[in-house]
Structure 1
Amino acid sequence: MATTGAYGSWPSPIDAALAASRDGRPEYVEAVGDELWWTEPRPAQAGRRALVRRLADGTTAELPAPWNVRSRVIEYGGRPWTGTERAEGGPLIVFVHFDDQRLYAYEPDGPGEPWPLTPVSPVGGGLRWADPSLHPDRGASGEIWCVLEEFTGEGPGELRRLIAAVPLDGSAAGDRSAVRELSDGRHRFVTGPELSPDGRRVAWIAWDHPRMPWDGTEVIVADIGDDGVFHAPRTLLGGPQESVPQIQWTAGGQLLLASDRSGWWNLYRADPDGGVAVELCPREEEFAGPLWKIGLSWFRPLENGLIATLHGKGATTLGILDPETGTLVDIAGPWTAWAETLAVQGSRVIGIAASPHSAYEIVELDTSTGHTRIIGAPHEDAVDPAYYPEPADRTFTGPGGREIHAHIYPPHSPGRTGPAGELPPYVVWAHGGPTGHAALVLDLEIAYFTSRGIGVAEVNYGGSTGYGRAYRNRLREQWGVVDVEDCAAVAGALAAEGTADPHRLAVRGGSAGGWTTAASLTGTDVYACGTIIYPILDLTGWGTGETHDFESQYLESLVGPLAEVPDRYRERSPITRTDRLTTPFLLLQGEDDPICPPVQCERFLAAVQGRGIPHAYLTYPGEGHGFRRAETMISALEAELSLYAQTFGIERPDVPRLELRK
């Protein structure tokens, strides 16, 4: 028989330490001969990313601490490693070490430690590298071709980006001039180069301010001269209104690409000499996504001419596409979300996938048999899975009758139920981006709340990816309006239907979700409290130098041109609307955040000072944009629960009481 207990007061084996230990997911899986390599989070090791090796016999090893394999190019980073098989000496791996952002070479079967290939620069943010590819037959000793981000001054926008070649012999470790520049630097942003099968041409993706890569990009094709430099670069396709987030050569010298020219990111094949791009599988589904990091992959050609591709509307799956007939066959399996990374190893396709009952794990598909298996980072239930939430994917109606997509996670615990006549509290989660997406997968941070009797509603508000360009464009010049309205509409609908207690609703989010949370608390009366995590709070400041280069003109599309609508920037900013704030809030901030710097939080708190609003401000040294250390995540999660407990009248003696100041 179920035990009755007040919602929010239920005991749970999913504590903050367990949730923190399972935070993050594997990334950047690639094949190196018969081996597979990828990166994995290590929250307990100061949040580093470990480089993991899976040998042909199935055993695994990793590059140990202190090595931290992560790039800071465009601050969000990109593919930080590459490798090649060698006839003797085992594989050769090249990777970016986060602490100094240098490229290092590594022989995992050799006796020595990794050694540096690039120098350290004292200027601004230094030299940074991403999206590398190995070319042992290029240059005098072999080269790594990659994206170089080079700071030319101390400001966040004083930099240049181009495609460069780093010699494998280590001669550039102390000499910047030994790095060859392959592209001309005419574009503000570039991806790593894709070499044609005949070695005579190269292609890459580029874009410029004020566009973001999901607004419009160009596919650049160039010839490779005898001098090894890229010549006659020309735009093959793309433009201000067409987003191409990935390209890949076929064995026959054609270019595969994802483009949203139809309103959806679909797959095309194009002749690099300027032929018409042919759509391979027209569907109102997404076959790609936003290029938040350099070097993401949603599709890969197979040696038999078929294409492995991720696709879907909202949820994603892995399918095998015949480009000649347009036939697309999906794999069987429980997975509802696939990370934007695929690798091919002969007839096998390797990806990273999760479901509502399993975290992200490395999945292998054998296309010759159709069989799938888990080969890395396997999900393991640390607690009885009966404590996991049972979510529902729902569509709500918002202002003007527009559709709003959301994942609803009701309170759930085995053997526990709420009192008759009591409705549970709910927390609305606003994802980051805002050009992003909340996937329907197992997240122990969500389970931390639902297993205690607090529901969670993850809202893919207008502007989210996964539902086509028109849905994405709903947020154009409407940030702080559409996202706030959509979250409020979902909260209101849950209350109206008797799912949630209308007096015990909260809102939370990080980064752009922190903005939506703060804008909701200062612009609506829907919520009783909120958790604001490394947020944007002042549009004018953020749009005039208080963030990094990649997003420095993002607001031109999200809000409008600052020069034309300065009042809009001021009126929508939570920092200018603190007089409307009436509810308690928790503010969480990393002290080393270059994207949403602490100065915005400090100004917001100064504006709130003396108004009698209960609040807490917790800062974390060593944390940037997105918390990675276990101790930080434990502190933040327990503080958040304490805020809800105090606001909603719930007893939670199992977490430290958060001190709320007025």
Structure 2
Amino acid sequence: MRTLAYGSWPSPIDAALAAAHDGHPEYVGLVGDEAWWTAPRPTEGGRRTLVRRTADGTEQSVLPAPWNVRSRVIEYGGQPWAGATVEGEPLVVFVHFADQRLYRFRPGAAPEPLTPVSPVGGGLRWAEPQVRPDRGEVWCVLEEFTGDGPDDVRRVLAAVPLDGSAAQDRDGVRELTDARHRFVTGPRISPDGRQAAWLAWDHPRMPWDGTELLVAGIGEDGTFRAPRTVAGGPTESVAQVEWAPDGRLLYASDRTGWWNLYRDGQPLCPRAEEFGGPLWKLGHRWFAPLESGLVAVVHGRGATTLGILDPETGEVVDAAGPWTEFAPTLAVHGDRVVAVGASPRSAYEVVELDARTGRARVIGDPHDDAVDPAYYPEPQIRTFTGPAGRDIHAHIYPPHNPGCVAPGDTLPPYVVWAHGGPTGRAPLVLDLAIAYFTSRGIGVAEVDYGGSAGYGRAYRDRLREQWGVVDVEDCAAVALALAEEGTADRDRLAVRGGSAGGWTAAASLAGTDVYACGTIIYPILDLAGWATGETHDFESQYLESLVGPYAEVPARYAERSPTEHADRITAPFLLLQGLDDVICPPAQCERFLARMAGRQVPHAYIAFEGEGHGFRRAETTIRALEAELSLYAQVFGLNPPGVPTLELTK
């Protein structure tokens, strides 16, 4: 055991290792007896591949580079693939990121396009495909740009011929609905094939504010009849809908303040916990009905677990195993449930649960300890008290290294991590980016500030018209509490975040004196610009609820924007941005830096070619992590070995 200063501990977890393990499996599905899912490939340009696990347990990536299975619908994407067994063989359709076309694929053959390329604006985009061999079609969400502006767009449910006849012909795509609603999810077809159910919502609502559950009859010719609203509304969020095997409608609604499950309008398991979540990506799935009538559920308060719900008794039996967090993706076939689970000691892996026996096992992307797990952080689940006595949920990751301790008269530096969204949450899982810092002697505090998902609607609503206030206050309250209790060094606190978290980091530097420095990653910095055309359609009116109606309170937009108050920022900062980001575009960073010019505040700006909103390439993650560590080293007086020095300018 060596005694070394905090921040100077040698660690086997370098930036390259953290980058190689960035991302996790998503969008699980069952094609006959085979489990399929998408998986990240950070060292292959950040693409996502399609993985197939055959009945004999063999796992293979079925699509080589440069195929990239990822949809751009609402920019955050959604379910990008689906499959069915046809004539005893898998038939899969998927969206290729580069051109957003829908492709048909049979293992062993080259993918063939099913949809055309549109020269208009963002083109044609597809999500939540469902293979309908009985009709020779794929039913899915179509997002179609009608002009060059981000809001020149329409969304409908559509049917694409499986025979490729629409590959060069937009008119060959059959529209199933009109475009009366701005946003729609993919249709769920009743067991008898006679009805379809889907969700819809309109500006200025976000899907966690209020959605409508629509049901329409399906004619013999495959056309939809006039839809009717059966649940939801402006203040009720229905997060997901499915059909039970007996033809009854199941959905997750937050009408009581928590996303609970309902069957034909009746609650199945009323609890003060979530059986749903924010619909950031089309195709998120928190529950899946089994043929037996039971329902597989991802549920919890804060962290989530996988369980089996008996709708007749309301009882839930949770799967045994080491996993303490499950992603919102499920697939079922017979008594088999396939999910994606993780824990503070293991990254996300594909898990199969036998609903009859309760036995769960890893079947894909198994966690592999790339280093001695003794270097992994040991998180603490904490609840802090914020302004007005409100609770603030957080995960605290103290510095941890099996071979090092710090001198007994010193306290460690801490970095407060603000998650994105802001309607999101920090999952309690192994993240080597966190371990990169904690194993060197820098603590991390992930704060689920007011507005975060997972704790009920009232907790989410704390941020209504208070963005830039409540999130900043809650992060500061956690940071100061850690210092006051003797956990963190008061003079060596930092704040970092990406996207909405980047906003909170920048707003914290502009509005408080808590932090000695900050890392701001693909942020929102200018509210007025973001509200008037600088972002994509999905979030273009998000600020109406987060800040207030722009037409009514324009001064509030200026009052809270870091760009308008660059003169208040005195702490050094690092700004990281993808040049292909259409959600938080580089123009926001450029305006902010122009306001900082000549102010003699040490800072660095690194812009990455080919990166969008959320870094995906290994080389980007490496440079970003090393730059961030170098910032803390220079500001906090640390000496981490082997880290390139970040040049700070004034």
**TM-score, with normalisation over the residues of structure 1?**
0.98
Q: Which one of the candidate residues 563, 585, 589 is aligned to 1:601?
A: 589
Q: Deviations over 1:567-608 (max 9, x none)?
A: 000000000011110100000000000000000000000000
SS of 2:210's equivalent in the other structure is coil
CA distance, structure 2, for counterparts of residue 344 and residue 610 of structure 1: 59
SS at match of 1:85: strand
Q: Does 1:224 align with 2:218?
A: yes
- Per-residue CA deviations over 1:515-574 (Å, capped at 9, x if unaligned) read 000000000000000000000000000000000000000000000000000000000000
Deviation at 1:227, TM superposition (A): 3.1
Query: Is 1:661 equivalent to 2:642 in the alignment?
Result: no
* Distance in 1 (alpha carbons) for counterparts of 2:301 and 2:409: 37
Q: How many residues align?
A: 649
Aligned to 1:518, the other structure's residue is in SS state helix
What's the counterpart of residue 273 of structure 1? none
Structure 2 residue identity aligned to 1:113:
A
Match of 2:401 in 1: 413
Q: Aligned equivalents of 1:83 and 1:652: distance in 2?
A: 49
Distance 2:302 2:320 in 1: 18
The answer to which of 333-342 and 225-234 deviates more is 225-234
After TM superposition, give the deviation of residue 653 of structure 1 in Å. Answer: 4.2
| Residue 321 (str. 1) matches residue 318 (str. 2) | no
* Structure 1 match to 2:143: 149
Q: Percent identity?
A: 75
Partner of 2:613, secondary structure, is coil
Equivalence for 1:114: 111
> Where does the alignment leave 5 or more consecutive residues of structure 1 unmatched?
271-276
Q: In the alignment, what sits opposite 2:36?
A: 37
- Give the 5 Å matches for 1:546-625: 546-625=534-613
User: Any idea what the Cα deviations from partners look like across 1:349-368, whole Å, max 9, x if unmatched?
Assistant: 11000000000001111122
Q: 1:101-250 alignment to 2 at 5 Å?
A: 101-108=100-107, 110=108, 112-138=109-135, 142-250=136-244
Deviations 1:139-177 (A, max 9, x none): xxx000000000000000001000000000101000000
Give the drift of 1:232: 1.4
1:336-415 paired onto structure 2 within 5 Å: 336-415=324-403
Deviations 1:53-102 (A, max 9, x none): 000000011111111000000000000000001224x1100000000000
1:433 aligns with 421
Q: Summarize deviations over 1:392-451 as a string: whole Å, max 9, x none.
A: 000000000000000000000002111111000000000000000001110000000000
Q: Distance in 1 between matches of 2:233 and 2:355?
A: 35
Once residues 555 and 58 of structure 1 are traced to their aligned partners in structure 2, the CA distance between those partners, rounded to angstroms, is 47
For the residue of structure 2 that corresponds to 1:232, the secondary structure is: coil
Could you say which residue in structure 1 is the equivalent of 2:509?
Answer: 521
2:66 aligns with 66
1:245 partner SS: strand
Aligned-pair distance for 1:224?
1.1
Equivalent AA in structure 2 for residue 590 of structure 1: G
2:131 is paired with a residue of what secondary structure? Answer: strand
CA–CA distance in structure 2, aligned partners of residues 319 and 310 of structure 1? 6
Aligned residue in 2 for 1:49: 48
- Matched residue type, 2:126: W
5 Å-filtered alignment, 1:257-296, equals 257-270=251-264, 277-296=265-284
Given that residues 86 and 133 in structure 2 are in contact (C-alpha distance below 8 angstroms), is that contact kept between their aligned partners in structure 1? no
Q: Secondary structure at the match of 2:56?
A: coil
User: 1: CA distance between counterparts of 2:277 and 2:9?
Assistant: 39
**1:447 aligned partner:** 435
Residue 255 of structure 1: aligned partner: 249
TM-superposed CA distance for 1:639, in Å, is 0.1
Within 2, Cα distance between the matches of 1:415 and 1:159?
Answer: 56
DSSP-derived class of the 2:261 partner: strand
- Bigger drift between 59-68 and 638-647 goes to 59-68
In 1: Cα distance, 2:422 partner to 2:274 partner: 18
3-state secondary structure, aligned to 1:49: strand
Do the aligned residues in 1 keep the contact of 2:422 with 2:501 (CA within 8 Å)?
Answer: yes
Q: Is 2:440–2:640's contact at 8 Å kept on the other side of the alignment?
A: no
- Cα offset, 1:252, TM superposition: 1.2
Partner SS, residue 227 of structure 1: coil
- 1:334 matched residue in structure 2: 322
Give every structure 1 segment of 4 or more consecutive aligned residues whose post-TM-superposition deviation is greater than 4 Å.
Answer: none
**C-alpha displacement of 1:345:** 2.2
Instruction: Give the whole-Å Cα distance in 1 for the aligned partners of 2:333 and 2:251.
Output: 20
Q: Output the amino acid matched with 2:532.
A: T
For 2:38, what is the secondary structure of its paired residue? Answer: strand
1:636 aligns with 2:604: no
| Cα distance between partner residues in 2 of 1:661 and 1:123 | 41
> What SS does the aligned partner of 1:575 have?
helix
| Unaligned residue ranges in structure 2 (runs of 5+) | none
Letter in 1 for 2:125: R
Query: 2-side partners of 1:238 and 1:450: how far apart?
Result: 44
1:468 matched to which residue of 2?
456
For 1:23, the equivalent position in structure 2 comes to 22
Aligned residue identity for 2:110: E
CA RMSD of the aligned region, Å?
A: 0.6
Of 515-524 and 344-353, more deviation after overlay is shown by: 344-353
C-alpha deviations, 1:98-133, integer Å up to 9, x for none?
A: 00000000001x4x3100000000000000000000
AA aligned to 1:201 is Q
- Paired with 2:361 and 2:321, the residues of 1 have a C-alpha distance of 10
SS of 1:91's partner is: strand
